Amino acid sequence: MASSAADLHIFFLPLLAPGHMIPMLDLSILISARGPRSTIVTTPANAKLLRPSLSDTDNPNIHLLTIPFTSDESIQLPENLTGHPIPDITPEFFASLCRLEPHFESLFLTHRPDCIISDIFYPWTATLAKRYGIPRIAFHGTSYFSFTVMSVISLLRLYESVSSFDEPFLVPGFRHNIKMTRSQMSSIVTSPPEFMAGFPASLKETYGTVMNTFHELEPAYADFFKSFSDMRSWNVGPVFLCRRSVDSLRNRGGAAACEVFRWLDGKDAGSVLYVCFGSLARFTAAQLREMRAGLEAAGRSFIWVVTDDPEAEGSVPVTGEEEGSVGFVIKGWAPQLAILEHEALGGFLTHCGWNSCLEGIAAGVPMVTWPLFADQQFNERFLVDVLGVGVSVGSVVNSTRPEERTVVVAERVAAAVEAVMGEGEEAEERRRKAREMKEAAARAVGEGGSSEVDLGRMVEELMALKMNRMKG
């Protein structure tokens, strides 16, 4: 009998991209802190990425197991989306995700976990869990806001009500005035790929959903999701607040670039802008030049994270501080959580990936929003129109292909940075709201907070399910 949480064993299967793997790892840390055993199942190259982050946690109840990744013989795909030239879940990549099933099942049969928590991009885990009589819980890598707004736009085909790509349409049914354009829609909304046709059926077989958000952040949208999807859901975020030690903050998701902290330590409180576009972004050389000119023109100290993008060669300086510049460049992986928590931080220029949004919110910093693709344009509306903590830089074309996005010119970059970092009533109001959100996030994960309670409920419910199964 599952008499205690320690008898519960959960298999985690994250999507093979940092923005999904990192929060799922944090979720496993949170769950295992309550007793259950967590096993993260991933492919060999991704296990290498996750292992250093795991070694910072002192919980012996979290394990990694690997299964082989295979792609179609004609197209050799890297195991992680970061290595793909275009960071899209293509039919070929999706096929590779489906090929994980027999290997996952064989691990499942050896270890017999009591629950599977898997990314929504593994619809087959719902059928597998059902076959063996255990619950599958789906992990959504986005917010309630973006999920519901996307669903409404897609169902009502609102983007067809306008005559051009840049004519705004109103998203009805919500208290906030949400206006979007067709150019801001990801293709998942306007023309979902065929492989997603089976997702609704798999969600019907799914026991519940776990979300990296907290109720007070988006109550109306959380309630809307529940009534709309008719599904149990638990809000347990921000999950990264499980990381408390400096090492754990600095090494999350990759090796830390420590010199940046010496540079930050020399700056005044609230004076530095942190610029990062997540793990998958690519830019044209022209856009990188405008970005750099805009950041320099704003005249505020900044940290600029640039991926190892061939386009970046020659367009941006090498790692470190550059003579005559007010910026510090990090090429490669930045210790984002630790930078955001530094007291010198005054603003965050973000691509609006959901993890970055939540990390900015929990750090209490106002944001410059520069969405690129996927749900990022929706998350931008959430930061700007719903929370009132963001200023848009004006990136209005949703595309994974950098050459399809219109170039944001230096003047717009500088103006948005100034609006966020400068003085004035509006900037102060934004900072006040950001501070309020930070406090709300800390309360949610603190003792008796909404996320802490929801997480406890989820674990108890899983234990009760196990007991019933064993009695049966």
Tokens of 85: 């030239």
- Length of the chain counted residue by residue: 472
Are 24 and 12 contacting, i.e. CB atoms less than 8 angstroms apart? yes
- Of 9, 20, 342, 351, which one is the catalytic site residue? 20
- Of 119, 309, 375, 454, which one is the catalytic site residue? 119
| Distance in angstroms between the alpha carbons of the first and the last residue of the chain | 11
Q: What is d(CA 378, CA 179) in angstroms, rounded to the nearest whole number?
A: 10
Active site residue 84: no
Q: Which is nearer to ligand UDP, 352 or 463 (CB)?
A: 352
- 179-180/169-170 β-pairing: antiparallel
Q: Which is nearer to ligand UDP, 129 or 279 (CB)?
A: 279
3-state SS class at 193: coil
Residues 6+ apart with CB under 8 A from 449: 214, 443
Q: Count Cβ atoms below 10 Å from residue 282 Cβ, excluding itself.
A: 20
3-state SS class at 381: helix
Which residue's Cβ lies closest to ligand UDP? 19
Alpha helix stretches (DSSP H) within 232-347: 246-250, 259-265, 285-298, 336-341
Q: What is d(CA 312, CA 250) in angstroms, rounded to the nearest whole number?
A: 24
**What's the closest the beta carbon of residue 398 comes to ligand UDP, in angstroms?**
13
Q: Which is nearer to ligand UDP, 239 or 465 (CB)?
A: 239
Q: What is d(CA 444, CA 35) in angstroms, rounded to the nearest whole number?
A: 20
**What's the closest the beta carbon of residue 279 comes to ligand UDP, in angstroms?**
3
**What's the closest the beta carbon of residue 276 comes to ligand UDP, in angstroms?**
6
Rounded to the nearest 5°, which phi and psi values hold at 9? Answer: -125, 125
**What's the closest the beta carbon of residue 443 comes to ligand UDP, in angstroms?**
21
Active site residue 119: yes
Q: Which is nearer to ligand UDP, 207 or 328 (CB)?
A: 328
- 9-13/367-369 β-pairing: unpaired
Binding region for ligand UDP (CB under 6 A): 18-19, 22, 252-253, 276, 278-280, 305, 333-334, 336-337, 353-356, 359
**What's the closest the beta carbon of residue 263 comes to ligand UDP, in angstroms?**
16
**What's the closest the beta carbon of residue 345 comes to ligand UDP, in angstroms?**
13
Q: Which is nearer to ligand UDP, 158 or 217 (CB)?
A: 217
Residue 471 CB-density burial (10 A; 0-12 exposed, 13-18 middle, 19+ buried): exposed
Q: Which is nearer to ligand UDP, 186 or 355 (CB)?
A: 355
DSSP tag of 406: P
Would you name the residues annotated as active-site residues?
20, 119
